[in-house]
């Protein structure tokens, strides 16, 4: 199962599992490129990523780079030089959990920057559990796709939207007057902190299971706690500085009817590990598989993927009560891919009448179709108008004019040549070069 916010609040239930299936042709037909975002915005967001420091580094997946700052294959945990991935770059690896007893990888994770429709940076924590999580893995739109959407632009980064197979598409707010500020994660200053607050959940899937009310609300009784970066040794044996953030269903930690989700964020991978906890007495009261109430039991199902004897124990005490870990995903096992690809799709955070992001820019600025300096050098009139090295102007021109005019922005790709090479594509797209570029990047990522 894929778990996103598997958390029980007062009057609020969030569950995780599989996502719906959507074909790429349907995605393209209903997800045109936004014309409302300033062409300068994607470049400015990339500059924010470059200059964002440790705060954004704990939220965004890293990529290994060579001496020219170009992404190369490798695991950020082991390569000599790595940095945050940027809009327009492909990730050459995935990280997964691993049941070391069954040798099964259930889910991959990545934390990818995207352009918000409010023209601000968002981070899409994208999750896929459709299987084949090996070197030839490709982002399968027909697989078990889920996500969390993080807004990093307030004093505290927050999850503002999530999609899973329990209650499907869900918006998260502190209050219902704005899209900013949802489920708090950690502060920009990277210091210890806590926040007692309200949560409003609005579920926007057209049809919902009977267990999912359209509105869920906790009023001032939810507690979020986070720590400054600390060293954590994960199931893979990797030791990384981590921000650990706790999300209690109720601020009174001594309550038996309570629950906790615990998230781990690392510089190397962004969102890295998820855990679900409940008071031990609550676990016993629920009955069923009582082995899950004792993480130390030899028949506990978590032992081979979140071992309680590892440096992250499965038993702890909060509010004078014993708590036990009842589920976990430790995604620190890297898989180097045979071919990098873009880890986003057009169904995420865009459907059901609420479009929070526009992932088109991850495709239109893809490093296999756009090179800003090369674009300037190719067209003398642009070089004369903008000057050498004005990459922001080059990026803006490409998005605003160059694509629509069918210009060439990479030595190895021409959208006109791409269409003329295949009559079927020519008939499908005509002069809709934006959609044709997205089609090319999507298809090339899948091959």
Q: What is the DSSP letter of 382?
A: H
Q: Based on the domain organization, do 191 and 86 belong to the same domain? A: yes
Q: Based on the domain organization, do 162 and 237 belong to the same domain? A: yes
Write the CB contacts of 346 (distance below 8 Å, at least 6 apart in sequence).
27, 28, 30, 31, 359, 360
The β-bridge partners of 195 are 224
Residue 199 belongs to some domain of the structure: yes
Q: Based on the domain organization, do 324 and 375 belong to the same domain? A: no
* Other Cβ atoms closer than 10 A to 142: 12
* Phi, psi dihedral angles at 352 (to 5 degrees): 60, 35
Residue 35 has pLDDT above 70, yes or no: no
How does pLDDT run across 102-148, given as a tens digit for each residue?
Answer: 899 999 999 999 999 999 999 999 998 877 789 998 876 655 678 99
Q: Based on the domain organization, do 321 and 396 belong to the same domain? A: no
Last residue of a domain, one of 291, 319, 337: 337
Residue 276 belongs to some domain of the structure: yes
Residue 173 belongs to some domain of the structure: yes
Q: List the single range of 27-36, 64-73, 303-312, 382-391 with lowest mean pLDDT.
A: 27-36
Q: Based on the domain organization, do 143 and 46 belong to the same domain? A: yes
Residue 19 has pLDDT above 50, yes or no: no
Query: Looking at residues 21-48, what average pLDDT do you find?
Result: 63
Residue 344 belongs to some domain of the structure: no
Instruction: Kindly report the average pLDDT of the chain as a whole number.
Output: 89
Residue 160 belongs to some domain of the structure: yes
Tokens 């770059």, residue located: 89
Q: Give one word for 129, left, alpha or beta, with left for phi > 0 and alpha for psi -120 to 50.
A: alpha
How far is 7 from 3, CA to CA, in rounded Å?
10
| Nearest to 235, CA basis, from 96, 82, 76, 92 | 96
Please tell me the predicted confidence (pLDDT) of residue 45.
98
Residue 343 belongs to some domain of the structure: no
Q: Based on the domain organization, do 261 and 408 belong to the same domain? A: no
Please tell me the predicted confidence (pLDDT) of residue 18.
30
Sign of CA dihedral 161, 229, 238, 313: negative
Q: Based on the domain organization, do 294 and 380 belong to the same domain? A: no
Q: List the single range of 11-15, 302-306, 346-350, 379-383 with lowest mean pLDDT.
A: 11-15
Q: Based on the domain organization, do 21 and 85 belong to the same domain? A: yes
Last residue of a domain, one of 337, 359, 378: 337
Using a pLDDT cut of 90, give the percent of the chain over it.
Answer: 75
* Phi, psi dihedral angles at 53 (to 5 degrees): 70, -160
How far is 306 from 219, CA to CA, in rounded Å?
33
Quote the number of domains for the chain.
Answer: 2
Q: Based on the domain organization, do 47 and 99 belong to the same domain? A: yes
Q: Based on the domain organization, do 129 and 80 belong to the same domain? A: yes
Q: Note if the pTM is more than 0.75.
A: yes
Q: Who wins on pLDDT, 330 or 7?
A: 330
| Nearest to 195, CA basis, from 161, 164, 169, 158 | 158
- Which residues constitute the domain of residue 405? 368-446
Do 220 and 195 form a contact (C-beta atoms < 8 A)?
no
How far is 371 from 352, CA to CA, in rounded Å?
34
Do 98 and 105 form a contact (C-beta atoms < 8 A)?
yes
Q: Is 123 helix (H, G, I), strand (E, B) or coil?
A: strand
Q: Based on the domain organization, do 283 and 393 belong to the same domain? A: no
Query: Looking at residues 151-158, what average pLDDT do you find?
Result: 95
Q: Based on the domain organization, do 329 and 395 belong to the same domain? A: no
Please tell me the predicted confidence (pLDDT) of residue 101.
85
Structure tokens at 6: 């598997």
Residue 36 has pLDDT above 80, yes or no: no
Residue 362 belongs to some domain of the structure: no
Using a pLDDT cut of 70, give the percent of the chain over it.
Answer: 91
How does pLDDT run across 66-90, given as a tens digit for each residue?
Answer: 999 999 999 999 999 999 999 999 9
Residue 307 belongs to some domain of the structure: yes
Tokens 């009582």, residue located: 290
**DSSP output for 263-302:** EEEETTTEEEEEEEEEEHHHHHHH-S-GGGG-TTSTT-TT
Our measurement of the distance from residue 33's CA atom to the centroid of its chain's CA atoms, rounded to an integer in Å, reads 21
pLDDT confidence of 9, banded at 50, 70, 90? very low
The β-bridge partners of 318 are 321
Last residue of a domain, one of 291, 314, 337: 337
């Amino acid at each position: 199962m894929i778990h996103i916010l598997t958390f029980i609040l007062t009057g609020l239930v969030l569950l995780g599992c599989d996502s719906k299936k959507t074909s790429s042709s349907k995605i393209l037909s209903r997800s045109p490129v936004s014309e409302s975002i300033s062409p300068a915005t994607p470049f400015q967001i990339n500059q924010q990523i470059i200059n964002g420091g440790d705060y954004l580094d704990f939220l965004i997946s890293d990529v290994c780079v060579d001496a020219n700052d170009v992404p190369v294959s490798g695991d950020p945990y082991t390569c000599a030089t790595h940095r945050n991935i940027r809009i327009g770059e492909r990730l050459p690896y995935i990280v997964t959990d691993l049941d070391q007893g069954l040798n099964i990888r259930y889910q991959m994770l990545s934390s990818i920057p995207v352009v918000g429709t409010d023209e601000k940076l968002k981070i899409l924590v994208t999750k896929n559990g459709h299987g084949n999580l090996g070197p030839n893995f490709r982002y399968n739109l027909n697989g078990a796709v889920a996500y969390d959407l993080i807004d990093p632009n307030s004093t505290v980064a927050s999850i503002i939207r999530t999609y899973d197979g329990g209650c499907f598409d869900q918006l998260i707010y502190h209050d219902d007057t704005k899209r900013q500020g949802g489920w708090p994660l950690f502060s920009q200053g990277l210091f210890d902190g806590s926040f007692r607050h309200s949560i409003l959940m609005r579920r926007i899937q057209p049809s919902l299971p009977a267990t999912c009310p359209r509105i869920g609300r906790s009023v001032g009784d939810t507690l979020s706690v986070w720590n400054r970066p600390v060293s954590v040794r994960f199931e893979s044996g990797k030791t990384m500085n981590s921000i650990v953030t706790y999300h209690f269903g109720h601020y009174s930690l001594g309550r038996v009817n309570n629950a906790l989700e615990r998230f781990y964020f690392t510089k190397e991978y962004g969102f890295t590990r998820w855990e679900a906890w409940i008071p031990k007495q609550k676990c016993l009261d629920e009955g069923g598989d009582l082995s899950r109430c004792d993480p130390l039991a030899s028949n506990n199902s978590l032992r081979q993927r979140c071992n309680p004897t590892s440096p992250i124990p499965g038993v702890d005490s909060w509010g004078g009560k014993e708590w036990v870990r009842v589920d976990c995903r430790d995604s620190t096992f890297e898989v180097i891919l045979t071919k990098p690809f873009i880890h986003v799709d057009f169904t995420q955070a865009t459907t059901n009448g609420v479009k929070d992001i526009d992932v088109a820019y991850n495709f239109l600025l893809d490093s296999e179709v756009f090179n800003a300096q090369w674009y300037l050098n190719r067209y003398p009139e642009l070089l004369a108008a903008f000057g050498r090295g004005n990459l922001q102007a080059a990026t803006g021109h490409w998005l605003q004019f160059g694509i629509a005019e069918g210009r060439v922005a990479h030595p190895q790709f021409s959208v006109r040549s791409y269409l003329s090479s295949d009559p079927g594509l020519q008939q499908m797209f005509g002069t809709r070069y934006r959609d044709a570029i997205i089609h090319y990047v999507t298809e090339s990522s899948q091959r």
